[in-house]
Amino acid sequence: MAAKTDRKPVGRMTVFGLLTVAMYAAVFTHAEVITSMFARGSLWAAGPIATVFAFSYVHGTFASDLWSVLGVNARPQARKAAETTVARPSARATVKA
């Protein structure tokens, strides 16, 4: 699975996990107010868009770390392949004037 030198991001997962819980709690304890504000349309459209970006960063980081801590990582070869150069098409022949 993962390389033996890989350290599991337990600390980061805990921090982002707690942040995720805090954010969900903040929204759902004020669900009525937030939902009705975001449903006003027009410039309030920034509300749901900014909210999902914030959640995708915090919860996304937590989710990524959670799978790592559970030992579900990408195949090591895939990670190495991404670090090396990809096979590219041959360049077109050009004539230097």
Partner 1 sequence: MDILALDPSRFIELNAASVAFLFIVGFIGGLVSGFIGSGGAFVLTPGMMSLGVPGTVAVASNMCHKFPKALVGTIKRFKYGQVDLKLGLYMAISAAVGVQGGIRIQQMVLQTWGQAGSDLYVSLSFVAVLVIVGGYVMQDAIRCARCHIPEGTPPLARRLQQIELPPMVTFKTSGIRISFWFTVPVGLATGLLAATIAVGGFVGVPGMIYVLGVPGIMASATELVVAFIMGLGGSINWAMHGLVDIRLVLIILGGSLLGVQLGAIGTTYVREHMIKVVMATIMLIVAVSRCIALPGYLVKLGLMDLSASTLTILGRVSFVCMCFALFIGAVIILGSMWRGRAAERADGVAGAHGQA
Interface residues with partner 1 (CB under 8 A) are 1, 24, 27-28, 31-36, 38-42, 44-49, 51-53, 55-56, 59-60, 63-64, 66-67, 72-75, 77-79, 81-82, 86-89
**23 close to 54: Cβ distance less than 8 angstroms:** yes
For residue 56, what is the enclosing H or E element?
Answer: helix 46-69
Residue nearer to partner 1 on the CB measure, 9 or 47: 47
Residue nearer to partner 1 on the CB measure, 10 or 24: 24
Burial of 12 (0-12, 13-18, 19+ CB in 10 A): middle
For the bound state, the minimum distance from the C-beta of residue 97 to partner 1, rounded and expressed in Å, comes to 20
Residue nearer to partner 1 on the CB measure, 86 or 97: 86
Encoded amino acid at 4, one letter? K
For the bound state, the minimum distance from the C-beta of residue 38 to partner 1, rounded and expressed in Å, comes to 5
Separation CA 23–CA 61 (nearest Å): 14
